[in-house]
Amino acid sequence: PVAKVADVLQIPAFMCRQTDLLVAAAKTGRVVNVKKGQFLSPFEMRFVVDKLSGAGAKEIWQTDRGTTFGYQNLVVDMRAFPIMASNGWPTIMDATHAVQLPGAAGGSSGGQREYVPVLARAALAAGADGLFMETHPDPTKAISDGPSQVPLDQFAELVRSCLRVWRSVRG
């Protein structure tokens, strides 16, 4: 089982309302990182968190990756971080999946990686506790999600700029 080798179990956004999956993940005793479905409001994450904590989850991370906005677009509402934080668990911003353009590449997701830095820093300024980001030495050769990944040679500077924002907000 994955729980024997993984420190964190991640529940994909499209699976965030699957009660049996949430309960099984909670019962492992591992940290459960649950991504907010693009179809949920941040207020509805309360129900997801309640299922996990009711099943015995010891630590829950709530990750936002945006909300469907029309066709082939996601938008991140920065109010989501303080709203989800009111559930009592840490909030994470999935900055690379938030810039995806679902289906925009003709059967696969496109993306706008140029917006990853601004969304990551904005989420930290809005109160997100952490970031989730995908990186690749050459995103054009990535097996999946290449258009939204941060090139590896730009990643260190992005992390440094995000840390500056995080430290200024946290004081």
Place of tokens 């430290």: 167
pLDDT at 103: 81
Cα separation, 125 vs 76, in Å, equals: 13
Residue 171: pLDDT band with limits 50, 70, 90: confident
**Nearest Cα to Cα of residue 116 among 74, 82, 81:** 74
Query: Average pLDDT, whole number, for the chain?
Result: 96
Give 17-75 pLDDT, tens digit per residue: 999 999 999 999 999 999 999 999 999 999 999 999 999 999 999 999 999 998 889 99
pTM above 0.85, yes or no: yes
- Which among 89, 73, 75 is positioned nearest to 128, based on CA atoms? 89
Residues whose CB falls within 8 Å of the CB of residue 70, separated by 6 or more in sequence, listed in order: none
What is the reported pLDDT for 70?
86
pLDDT of residue 98 exceeding 80, the answer is yes
Residue 116 pLDDT greater than 80, yes or no: yes
What tens digit of pLDDT does each residue of 74-90 get? 999 999 999 999 999 99
CATH label, 2-170, candidates 3.40.80.10, 3.90.1260.10, 3.20.20.70, 3.40.1190.20: 3.20.20.70
Lowest mean pLDDT among 95-99, 108-112, 139-143, 153-157: 108-112
DSSP 113-140: GGGHHHHHHHHHHTT--EEE--EESSGG
Residue ranges of domains in the chain: 2-170
User: C-alpha distances in angstroms, 166 versus 40, 42, 94, 135, 145?
Assistant: 26, 21, 15, 20, 26
Phi, psi dihedral angles at 32 (to 5 degrees):
-115, 115
- If you search the block for the tokens 């936002």, which residue do you land on? 64
